[in-house]
Each structure stands twice: as C-alpha cells, then as structure tokens.
C-alpha cells in the first residue's frame, strides 16, 4: 500500500518560494502526472517526494508513514531521470543490477576495495543474475547487456533506465520528464510502454511532464501546477471538460482553448465592438453573477466556421491562418470584418482564435466568416481572477 499524501507542502530557497502550500492525496496504484510549464516547481515537487530535495515545511506521507526525514533509499522509490543518469562506466548489466547490488550491501561493503570485490561477486549471484535476465527480457534489452550506455540509442538508454528502476520492485516509481530527449515517434512508443508497465506492476507512479499529451494519455490523475501553486487536481477528463481556471483551460488542449474577452452591452455579449449573436441568455447569466465583463472560453474543436443556424452563438470574424493537417484543418481567425485588425509581425498572432475543423476543408485566408458554437460549449471565467464561473 503506497498512497501518497501531500499535506501543506512548501519549498523555498531563501526568500524565493518555489512551491507553496501544496496539498493532495493520491491513492495507491494511481498514475499521477504533475503537469505544468517550465519552472512551475513540478520537478522540485518530484525531488521532494524522492528525498533528493529537503522539504521546507509540511508533511509528506507514504501510506501512513511520514517520510520527510527519510533518505531516498529508505523511501523505497525508483527514480527515472530526464537524462537517464545511466552510469557510463558500467555495462548495461551492471547498470540494471546496481540497485539490487546496493540492497545487498552491508556497511563494511562500502569500504574501498572490499566494495569492488563484493559488487563483482553479487553480480554473479544466481538469483540476481536471473532477475537481471528477466528484467532485460521484459524490456527487450537481452542483446545489449554487455554494452556500455554510450553504444545504445536514445530509446534503448531510456529502457535501461526503466529496467534499473523496476528491478528492485519499489513502492513508488518517479519519472522526471523521461521522454523529453526522444523524437516524436519514439516518444509515442515509450508512452505506450510506460503505460503498459504501470498496468503490469500495479504500483503508484508519479510522472512529471510539461507535455499535455503525455499527461492526458498516461495519467489516471493529473495535478496542473503553475508558479508553485496547484491549479487543479483531477482526472484527465475532468481537467479537460471543466478546467478550474483560465490557466488550466489554455494549458490543456492543442490548440489552446479560445478565450474571448466579452462585455455585456444592451442585453448581449460583445467581443470588442463585435456582438455575439444569440448570447442574450449568457449575458443575463453574467449580469446575475454581478459582472459586466467576462472571459468566454470555447474549445477549438467546438467552433464551427459555417453560417449561423438555429440558436448557435456566433461572432463575425475573418480567417488569417489555414493549416491543413490531413485529418483536420486548423483555422486561425480574428473577430471583426476583414481588414479590421493589424495582421503583421507580432500583431498577426495576437488575438488569434483557432477552430479545429474535422477533415480536409477548403478555407482561404483573409476572407470573412462567422465563428459559431453551441451554448453548452461555453466556459465562463472571471476576467480578474481567472477562476471558473458556474452560472
């Protein structure tokens, strides 16, 4: 049983607070993903779980045990580093066996010369040898056992790092952006392998990434972090369908969620000077919340660029960017009629909204259109705090 409890965990370096007041409970056997942009404190969080970084305040529990003061080894964890941290002077066999060998070390084995002797003896012990073979077989590394890490490809190195982490059968597996050094194809393959590993070993995984695709595809639970503060904790579906704030809404999803700054005027919502047709109901909801302005969020795939029909909400717009991806077409639009916006340099990407249209649709740039979306596709956020509003 290795549930994880973060209780008001904080980390600061002098006056600089990296993580403040982090609380969450992660059940046993969950695949928890810590997701956030670079520098948001997610790696620091993982290092605190591993015991590689001291906890400034708060308590961290594995099951019912407080582990704040325990060494990484005592916590019985495995850690896969972004750079893999394979031992370059050892063979793949010795790399994989190393945690197991250290488990069998007595205090006197740490003495010079004696240690080297013991390591080579333990490497030949039948039970350890069998375990290495079994692990190598599982990760298809049998042919590479006598090679050094520098003679392996990126994917093979990654697998050695994983093999080294699973051989000891730890209580918790920690991964620090393990796929970020791989190319797109290999990353997809390794995603599947790590997910399969989780299903097989049935242990708690904590996985740090800035890649939302990894988070959405692998995690059973996601913690979205920004600037050391937890933004949302939930299942991938919850986070996607009901983002807790504007940051989460824009961080998850590609292209990010479209946010329209809307104002209530004459019983309708206006984006700038452009009215949102059929928005009377939403305008009333915003007023009922005691607001005059609101951030209106709509996912790119919920937006259509066809002519308005029925009770769909719609905004006048013009196309600026068309990206044909084969299975779908991404169209970048700005609100207002053609020629109403500055569309060169930085101005070209500022205020751009995206629609994701299924199939190979023919759109031309710089032509007028209407952004349309259904009422149930709308998310409301407080324009000042960014928090989700429930009308």
Nearer to another protein, 168 or 387 (CB): 168
Q: Which of 70, 72, 238, 272 binds another protein (CB under 8 A)?
A: 72
Nearer to another protein, 162 or 222 (CB): 162
Binding mask of the shown chain, residues 140 to 169, with x at each position contacting another protein by CB under 8 A: ------------------------x-----
353 with 334: CB under 8 angstroms? yes
By CB under 8 A, is residue 73 in contact with another protein?
A: yes
Nearer to another protein, 5 or 95 (CB): 95
Nearer to another protein, 107 or 184 (CB): 107
Q: Report the C-alpha gap between 275 and 260 in whole angstroms.
A: 12
The piece of 3-11, 109-117, 203-211, 233-241 that touches another protein (CB under 8 A) is 109-117
Nearer to another protein, 33 or 160 (CB): 160
**Can you list the positions of beta strands (E) in the chain?**
4-13, 16-26, 31-35, 57-62, 65-66, 77-80, 172-176, 204-209, 221-226, 229-234, 258-265, 268-271, 274-277, 293-298, 313-324, 328-335, 353-358, 368-373, 379-381, 388-389
Q: Which of 78, 162, 296, 355 binds another protein (CB under 8 A)?
A: 78
Q: How far is the CB of 165 from another protein (least distance, A)?
A: 9
- Secondary structure of residue 245 in the 3-state scheme: strand
Q: How far is the CB of 89 from another protein (least distance, A)?
A: 4
Q: Which of 15, 69, 112, 327 binds another protein (CB under 8 A)?
A: 112
Tokens matching residue 295: 């951030």
Q: Which of 23, 37, 57, 87 binds another protein (CB under 8 A)?
A: 87
Q: How far is the CB of 303 from another protein (least distance, A)?
A: 44
Residue by residue, DSSP assigns 333-389 as EEESSTTSS--SGGGGTTT-EEEEEES-----TT-EEEEEE-GGG-EEE-TTT-BEE
By CB under 8 A, is residue 77 in contact with another protein?
A: yes
Q: Report the C-alpha gap between 11 and 22 in whole angstroms.
A: 9
Residue by residue, DSSP assigns 111-165 as STTHHHHHHHHHHT-HHHHHHHHHHHHHTT-GGGTTS-GGGS-HHHHHHHHHHHH
Q: Which of 21, 91, 99, 328 binds another protein (CB under 8 A)?
A: 99
Q: Report the C-alpha gap between 214 and 244 in whole angstroms.
A: 20
168 with 189: CB under 8 angstroms? no
Q: Which residue has the tokens 């049998």?
A: 142
The piece of 77-85, 232-240, 246-254, 355-363 that touches another protein (CB under 8 A) is 77-85
By CB under 8 A, is residue 85 in contact with another protein?
A: yes
Nearer to another protein, 67 or 380 (CB): 67
Interacting residue ranges for another protein, rule: CB under 8 A: 50, 52, 71-73, 77-79, 81-83, 85, 87-89, 98-99, 102-103, 105, 110, 112, 115-116, 119, 164
């Amino acid at each position: 049983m290795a549930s994880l409890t973060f209780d008001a965990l904080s980390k600061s370096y002098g006056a600089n607070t990296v993580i403040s007041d982090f609380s969450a409970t992660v059940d046993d056997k969950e695949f928890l993903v810590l997701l956030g942009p670079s520098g948001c404190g997610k790696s620091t969080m993982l290092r605190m779980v591993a015991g590689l970084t001291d906890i400034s305040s708060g308590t961290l529990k594995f099951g019912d045990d407080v582990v704040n003061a325990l060494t990484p080894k005592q916590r019985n964890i495995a850690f896969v580093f972004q750079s893999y941290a394979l031992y370059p002077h050892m063979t793949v066999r010795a790399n994989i066996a190393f945690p197991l060998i250290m488990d069998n070390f007595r205090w006197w084995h740490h003495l010079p010369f004696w240690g080297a002797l013991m390591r080579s003896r333990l490497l030949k012990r039948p039970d350890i040898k069998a375990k290495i073979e079994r692990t190598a077989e599982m990760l298809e590394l049998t042919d590479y056992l006598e090679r050094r890490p520098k003679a392996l490809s990126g994917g093979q190195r990654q697998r050695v790092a994983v093999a080294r982490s699973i051989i000891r059968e730890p209580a918790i597996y920690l991964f620090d952006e393990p796929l970020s050094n791989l190319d797109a194809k290999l990353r997809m393959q390794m995603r599947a392998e790590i997910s399969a590993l989780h299903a097989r070993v049935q242990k708690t995984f904590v996985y740090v990434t800035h890649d939302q695709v990894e988070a959405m595809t692998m995690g059973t639970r996601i913690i979205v972090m920004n600037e050391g503060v937890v933004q949302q904790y939930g299942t991938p579906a919850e986070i996607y369908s009901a983002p807790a704030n504007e940051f989460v809404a824009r961080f998850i999803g590609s292209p990010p969620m479209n946010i329209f700054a809307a104002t209530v005027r004459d019983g309708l919502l206006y984006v700038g000077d452009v009215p949102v047709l059929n928005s009377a109901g939403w305008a009333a909801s915003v007023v009922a919340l005691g607001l005059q302005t609101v951030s209106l969020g709509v996912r790119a795939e919920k937006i259509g660029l066809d002519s308005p029909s029925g009770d769909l909400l719609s905004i006048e717009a013009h196309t600026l960017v068309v990206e044909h991806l084969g299975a779908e077409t991404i169209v970048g639009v700005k609100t207002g009629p053609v020629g109403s916006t500055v569309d060169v340099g930085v101005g070209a990407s500022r205020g751009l909204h995206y629609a994701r249209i299924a199939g190979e649709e023919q759109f031309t740039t710089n032509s007028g259109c209407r952004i349309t979306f259904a009422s149930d596709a709308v998310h409301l956020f407080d324009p000042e705090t960014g928090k989700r509003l429930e009308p």
